[in-house]
Structure 1
Amino acid sequence: MLAMALGVSGLLLLILCAESDCWRQDAKDPLSSVGLSVRCRGLWSECIFDNVADLWTCDIPISYLSEHPAVFVATRVLVILTGFLTLAAMPLFIAGMKCTKLIRDKVLWKYKFSLAAGTLFLLGGLAGAIAVLWYGIDTVQKYKLEVTLGIPGVTYELGCAYWMAAGGAACACAAGILLIAASSLDAQSLRKDQSPRFPPPVSKGTYL
C-alpha cells in the first residue's frame, strides 16, 4: 500500500508539473521586476501575472518543433517519458497486488507483474531525476552568471513546478525500489515453498 501511495503521488505530481508554466520564476533581487508582475517560464510557454490588473497571460510559441535550448527539449522528453512509464506501471502493479483477484492462484505471475511494475517505476523515476537535475543545474548556472555580470532584465530561479517534478521523480523511484525489494522477498519465499521438505528416498541395491 505504501508503494501504491507513492506511485499515485508521483504520477499526480508529474501531471501537475507538466501542465504548470512555472518551472522558472523571476527572482526577487534588484535585477528582476519591481513587484508589479510575476513572471514564470514553463516547458511549454512563458506567463506573466499582472498584480495591478489581476490578469494572467501566457505567451505560447508558434511551433514546438522550432529551435529551442537543449535543456528544454531534453526536459520535455524525459518528463513525458517519466509520466508514460509511471502510468504504464499502474495496471501491472494492481494486477500483481496480493489483495487483488485479477489473477487467481498464480503466485508466479503476480511476482512477475510486481517486478515489472517496480522496474517501470524505477526507470521512470530515474528519467525524471535526470530531467530535474539537468534543468536545475542549467537554471542555477544562468542565475549566477546574470547576477555576477549584472545583466539587466529578469533573473529567474527555480519555481514551484520544478519542485513538484522533483517530488514526483522521488516518489516514483521510492515506489520502484519498494516493489523490487518486495518482489525479491516474495521470490525467496516462493523458492522455499517449492523446495522439497524431505530428501528423496535412497534406493537400496539388492545383493545376490
Structure 2
Amino acid sequence: MEITASAIATDVLVMVLGILGLLLLILCAGSDCWRQDAKDPLSSVGLSIRCRGLWSECIFDNVANLWTCDIPISYLSEHPAVLVVTRVLVILSGFLTLAAMPLFIAGMKCTKLISDKVPRKYKFSFASGGLFFLGGLAGAIAVLWYGIDTVQKYKLEVTFGIPGVTYELGYAYWMAVGGAACACSTGILLIVASSLDAQSPGKEKNARRCLPDSKGTYL
C-alpha cells in the first residue's frame, strides 16, 4: 500500500481533531461551570462567582478566595429534563468518541496493525468516522438544547426582573461546543476519506481493463 503525503496529512489532522474533541468532552463533563452568574446589577455584585454544572453548583468567594460546591444528595432524584438529557448525551458522546479512537488507529495508513496486503483499512476508518460523527451529533444536541434553555431563562429573568441569580453560559459549555464540533469534523473527514479510498481500487481495476493488450503487436 503506497502511503502518500496527503494521506499522512489527513491522518495527522484527524488524530489532532479527534484527541482534542475527546479531551474537551471529558473536561466539560467534569467541569461545574456550564452556567455562570451573569455580570449585571440584577444578579451579581462582584463579591462571588456562581457556577452550575451537570453534577453540582459551586460558589467562589473572591474575598475569602474559597471555592465550595454543593453536591446533590442523590443523582436519581427529580431533576429538570434538560439537565438529565444533557448528562446522558454528554456521557454518550464521550464514550462514542473514545470507542472511535482504536478503530481510527487501526485504519491509519502508517500503522501496521492490519496487513497492507488486505486493502480493507478504509472499513475501519469508515466505522471510526461513523462513531466520531455520532458522538459529535450527540454532543451537538446536548449543547443546543442546554444553550436554548439557558438563553430563554436568562431573557425571562432579565425582562421581568426576577430576583435571584441570573445565569448565562459558562466556559464548560463552550468547551462542550468545541468538543462536539471537533468530533463532528473528525467524523466527516474520515467518512469522506474512507469513501475515496473505497472507490480507488475499483478505479484501478477499471483502468486496467480498459488498457489494450500490447502482447504480440510488433511493427
Q: Give the TM-score band, short-chain normalised.
A: over 0.9
Q: Distance in 2 between matches of 1:54 and 1:113?
A: 50
For the pair 1:14 / 2:14, whether they are aligned, the reply is no
3-state SS, counterpart of residue 77 of structure 2: coil
Unaligned runs of 5+ in 2: 1-11, 213-219
**1:126 paired residue number:** 137
Unaligned runs of 5+ in 1: 202-208
Q: Output the amino acid matched with 2:89.
A: L
- Equivalent positions of 1:51-200 (< 5 A) are 51-195=62-206, 197-198=208-209
Deviation sequence 1:74-121 (CA, Å, 0-9, x none): 000000000000000000000000000000125433111000000000
Q: Distance in 1 between matches of 2:68 and 2:146?
A: 24
For the pair 1:48 / 2:90, whether they are aligned, the reply is no
Q: Distance in 2 between matches of 1:200 and 1:142?
A: 68
3-state SS, counterpart of residue 115 of structure 2: coil
Query: Which deviates more, 192-201 or 143-152?
Result: 192-201
Q: Distance in 1 between matches of 2:193 and 2:145?
A: 31
Change (3 A) 1:198 1:34: closer
Deviation sequence 1:38-85 (CA, Å, 0-9, x none): 000000000000001100000000100000000000000000000000
Offset of residue 191 of structure 1 = 1.3
3-state SS, counterpart of residue 153 of structure 1: coil
CA RMSD of superposed structures (Å): 1.5
Output the TM-score relative to the length of structure 2.
0.89
Q: Distance in 2 between matches of 1:199 and 1:42?
A: 62
For the pair 1:36 / 2:47, whether they are aligned, the reply is yes
**2:7 paired residue number:** none
Change (3 A) 1:9 1:150: same
**2:15 paired residue number:** 4
Output the TM-score relative to the length of structure 1.
0.93
3-state SS, counterpart of residue 68 of structure 2: strand
3-state SS, counterpart of residue 208 of structure 2: coil
Q: Percent identity?
A: 84
Q: Distance in 2 between matches of 1:157 and 1:43?
A: 14
User: Stretches of 4+ moved more than 3 A in 1?
Assistant: 198-201
3-state SS, counterpart of residue 122 of structure 1: helix
Q: Distance in 2 between matches of 1:121 and 1:99?
A: 20
- Count residues in correspondence: 201
